A = this chain, B = another copy of it.
């Protein structure tokens, strides 16, 4: 029977926004019977936190944020992280799919920048637990 549902998800999830209200799930017994976080809602929020759950990805966000221009290309990111280029590209992709980074290709280079307000909305996810 279904263990590991393997959240088959899309890109650039936008859970950071509304998500409707806490749907009534209404536990039968226990302490207060409050609805709390629904299964789907929890799964989506966890995806965002999963993107933040790696030290190198946190550093990527930090470097991009700290950059003068607010953006950085891959070649600027491999050196400080001491990681191979494919690995950095991999991490950046995860951050983009989580809705935290924006990717813009200009010429040969790909410039990554913070999605405006994304970090704030993510912080908001914690408050609305």
Q: A-side interface residues toward B, CB under 8 Å?
A: 25, 27-32, 34-37, 39, 42-43, 45-46, 49-50, 52-59, 61-63, 65-69, 72-73, 75-77, 79-80, 119-120, 122-124, 126-127, 129
Contact call A79/B122, Cβ cutoff below 8 A: no
A46 in contact with B55 given A27-B79, A129-B119 (CB within 8 Å): yes
Q: Which residues of B contact A63 (CB under 8 A)?
A: 34, 36-37
Picked from B29, B56, B72, the residue with its CB within 8 Å of the CB of A42 is: B56
In the complex, besides A34-B63, A36-B63, A37-B62, 13 extra interface pairs with C-beta distance below 8 angstroms are A25-B80, A30-B75, A32-B67, A32-B68, A32-B69, A37-B58, A39-B55, A39-B59, A42-B59, A49-B50, A50-B53, A123-B123, A123-B126
CA distance A53 to B120 in the complex (A): 17
CA distance A59 to B66 in the complex (A): 33
Contact call B76/A31, Cβ cutoff below 8 A: yes
A62 in contact with B80 given A49-B53, A119-B129, A126-B122 (CB within 8 Å): no
Q: Which residues of B contact A67 (CB under 8 A)?
A: 31-32, 34
Q: A111 to nearest B CB, angstroms?
A: 10
Q: Which 9 A-B pairs have the closest CB atoms?
A: A34-B66, A123-B123, A37-B62, A30-B76, A42-B55, A50-B53, A49-B52, A36-B62, A32-B68
